[in-house]
Chains A and B, each alone.
Chain A
Amino acid sequence: MKDIADPDLDVSLTELIVCPHCDAVYRLKVPEMGEKAICQRCNAVLIAPRRKAGLKIIAISLATFFLILGAAFFPFLNIDAAGNKNSVSVIDAAFAFSSGPLLLLALATAGLILFVPLIRVVLTLYVLVPIVLDLPPARHAMDAFRFSEALRPWSMAEIFALGCAVALVKIADLATVGFGPAFWMFGGLVVLVVGQDSFMCRWSVWNSLEHPNKS
């Protein structure tokens, strides 16, 4: 953002944008598609519109939705040591903590790797589908999007995926470990989660929710 707000000019507040990280004020100027407006003070990306971003995010969200469900119930790792076999799904892994107080940890784990990502996908679809179809925003779409944003740091599917790799190495000399179908689903899921974040311009979503028929 180049246009630093001038304190002497009585600009209307609707023409301003304030960096949420450092409180710097700029005059709102929406960049071209594919360009970025970056905070000069702290380098945060303020606006980054992408062409057809809504459609891409919806497609990614739908794929994510089915991948999460698939990854949850299909086995994702199996083990074979001297004829003793075992295979586990992500749900099994979360509920490995199931004795006594560790049950809380099981719920937390299941939440961080399955439920939070799932809730975020549903909220994203709920908010974006009406926008992309040029319909009026869904009821409480703002609250839904705000909640989805608040959940963002608690969505940890990608961390779980790296955890699989670490676990594999840890038991490599103990047993033969094989990948189940859900392992690849989880791999794909990580790529999608990262991709969704790079397409999502939060400011554009807020703006279209505020002015439904202008975009």
Chain B
Amino acid sequence: MEFSGTSQQILSAREMGIVACTRCTKAWPMGTQTCARCGHKMVSRDFGSLQRVWAFWIMGLMCYVPANTYPMLQTRTLFQSDESTIVGGAVELAQHGAFGIAFIILLASVAIPLAKFWAIAFLAVSVKSRRATANHSRQIMYEVVEYIGRWSMIDIFVVAILSSLVQLNTLASINPGPASMFFALSVIFTMLSAQAFDSRMIWDEQAKDEDPS
């Protein structure tokens, strides 16, 4: 569409003495605290946000450890009962030949959460450091984290579906393990951590570099 202009001339609202509403995109004079259009609270840059990012990040990580060590599912069949962790369950599926599903589970509940922890930490550190590197890739990274983070909840939903469905009297039953609680909390905390991050800070260093004065 309209990529024709040179991005060099783009100004940030902060440099123009404007504070903008991040909900409804309206511009107000610097120092306005509440958007008069939609009532959203406004700050030019939420510097305190990094503290919230890290607080949620640490809580998320703290919940992620027990989410992997405790059993996620307790399966009881006629002859045996069996508790499996997230990784254990995926390995079991792979042994039964369901590589596709094992791959999805490992991706959704191991690779994506770990990548998310790394990405949020990277972004939070990068806006603090003086180097202005690859704003576009950082912005994309932030969007991916925001978009994909929610999908980790799929594991909890699978546990919920299995535990309610497989209640077959003496034949077999599946029940949720304590890891489900921790895993859900971990996903929720990392979502809050990503939401607390003020993505406008990604572009500030670039703006400073282009300022000739």
Contact = CB atoms under 8 A, between A and B. Distances in A.
Interface stretch (A64-72, A85-93, A117-125): A85-93
Nearest to B183: A105
A86 B143 CA distance: 41
Looking at B10, B104, B163, B200, the one whose CB has the most chain A CB atoms below 10 A away is B10
B29 interface: yes
Nearest to B37: A210
B168 A167 contact: no
Interface in B117-166: 136, 139, 143, 146, 150-151, 153-154, 156-166
Given A96-B164, A160-B157, A142 B38 contact: yes
Given A40-B7, A84-B171, A166 B158 contact: yes
Interface in B171-208: 171-172, 175-176, 180-181, 184, 188, 191, 195, 199-200, 202-203
Interface range on chain B: under 10, 10 to 19, 20 to 34, or 35 or more? 35 or more
B166 A171 contact: yes
Nearest to A46: B25
Given A18-B27, A22-B139, A22-B199, A170 B162 contact: yes
Contacts of A56: none
Given A23-B12, A82-B171, A170-B93, A13 B200 contact: no
B25 A93 contact: no
Contact of A5 (B16, B96, B150, B153): B16
A19 interface: yes
Given A5-B16, A22-B200, A173 B25 contact: no
Contacts, number: 216
B82 interface: no
A16 B10 contact: no
Given A46-B25, A149-B23, A96 B160 contact: yes
B199 A170 contact: no
Interface in A101-117: 101-102, 104-105, 108-109, 112-113
B28 interface: yes
Contacts of B11: 4-5, 7, 24-25
A126 interface: no
B93 to A, nearest CB: 7
Looking at B93, B163, B166, the one whose CB has the most chain A CB atoms below 10 A away is B166
A82 to B, nearest CB: 6
A94 B161 CA distance: 8
A5 B136 CA distance: 21
A4 to B, nearest CB: 5
A21 B165 contact: no
B176 A7 contact: no
A34 to B, nearest CB: 12
A167 B176 contact: no
A143 B41 CA distance: 12
B18 A169 contact: no
A201 to B, nearest CB: 11
A22 B198 CA distance: 9
A2 B105 contact: no
A63 interface: no
Contact of A146 (B40, B157, B191): B40
Q: Please give me the 6 A-B residue pairs with the lowest Cβ-Cβ distance, nearest first.
A: A18-B20, A163-B157, A96-B163, A84-B168, A96-B164, A20-B22
8 contacts: A13-B28, A18-B18, A35-B1, A77-B165, A95-B164, A159-B150, A163-B160, A166-B105
Given A17-B27, A46-B25, 14 more contacts: A13-B18, A18-B18, A22-B199, A23-B20, A40-B10, A41-B203, A79-B165, A97-B181, A102-B180, A105-B181, A108-B188, A142-B39, A170-B93, A202-B24
